[in-house]
Amino acid sequence: IALLAVIVLAFSYTVITLNKQKKLSQLKNDFINNLTHEFKTPIFSISLASGLLRKSDEVKGNEKLTKYTELIDNEGKRLKSQVDKVLQMALIDSGNFKLEKRQIDLHALIIKVAKSFELVINERGGELKLELDADQQVVSADETHVNNIIYNLLDNAQKYTDHKPEIVITTINEGEGVALSVRDNGIGMGREAQRFIFDKFYRAESGNVHNVKGFGLGLSYVKRMMTAHKGQVEVKSELGVGSSFILVFPHNVNK
């Protein structure tokens, strides 16, 4: 009887603790959602104002003002990107997201995202190459999330490079899917960092001492989304040489 009483008490305590943890997790997600949504309005206002400033004749005729408006615009976009990452992870953690899959042309999406990075990479004297060799590049996927996946990988590739960024995006057909690779000549990672690089909030030591800061959410998001798409993701990296991220998207929605 005493043993049974102890087991019942232990079970009750465990259930109560789990319920508290669940409530705390819900409160955390609600707080993150409310906080990030509150940031959305001022970020949109900053973006709108900087866009109007860039088009004005006063700014166009003043080189210094042009640089200032470009700085405001770029920092606004960076802030929006960070807020979007937090929102994306909060949505995934809540379990309230659903993939809107349809047939998309992976090559067209890659070209679209790559164009948004051409300016910043060219300004640093680097180069972005596309080697899109897959014959069957149409996959069943959520276009918004695949767009974010490619954006996150390209963003990391150009940020974590100390010198002129040389980035190569390749595609090939592999089995019953398309393999997409993003290769860079950046600072790279050691084996220890590669073990945890897809964990949420993980920041490699090189990431903390590098002049680029972040939340450690980008690659976690990539991993979670590839799993949701029933795809695969792996990393190959070497310190001081660079990194390659390989994604495999299945053609069939049910695979």
pLDDT, tens digit (0-9, with 9 covering 90-100), for 4-37? 999 999 999 999 999 888 888 777 767 766 766 6
Q: What is the pLDDT of residue 130?
A: 94
Alpha helices in the chain (DSSP H): 2-55, 57-60, 63-94, 106-123, 143-159, 191-196, 205-209, 218-228
Residue 203 has a pLDDT of 61
Report how far Cα 67 is from the mean position of its chain's Cα atoms: 27
Nearest to 164 by CA among 225, 115, 121: 121
Pairing of strands 138-142, 127-132: unpaired
Q: Are 126 and 161 in contact (CB under 8 A)?
A: yes
Residue 202 tokens read as: 């993980």
By the 8 A CB rule, do 90 and 36 touch?
A: yes
Identity of the residue numbered 32:
I
Kindly give the parts of the chain with pLDDT less than 70.
Answer: 29, 32-33, 35-37, 91, 93-96, 201-216, 252-255
Whole-angstrom distance, CA of residue 101 vs CA of residue 94: 20
Measuring CA to CA, how many Å separate 46 from each of 73, 78, 91?
8, 12, 25
DSSP summary character for residue 244: E
Q: Note whether 69 and 50 are within 8 A (CB).
A: yes
Q: What pLDDT is stored for residue 209 in this prediction?
A: 42
What's the pTM value of the predicted model, to 2 decimals? Answer: 0.69
Read off the DSSP letter of residue 255: -
pLDDT of the residue at 33: 67
Contact 254, 122 (CB under 8 A): no
Identity at 142, one-letter amino acid code:
D
What pLDDT score was predicted for residue 252?
62
Q: For 185, what's the count of Cα atoms within 13 Å in the CB-facing half-sphere? A: 12
Cα separation, 121 vs 132, whole angstroms = 19
pLDDT of 254 reads 47
Question: Going by DSSP bridges, is the β-strand pair 232-238/242-250 parallel, antiparallel, or unpaired?
Answer: antiparallel
Beta bridge partners of 234: 246
HSE of 155 in the Cβ direction (CA atoms, 13 Å)? 20
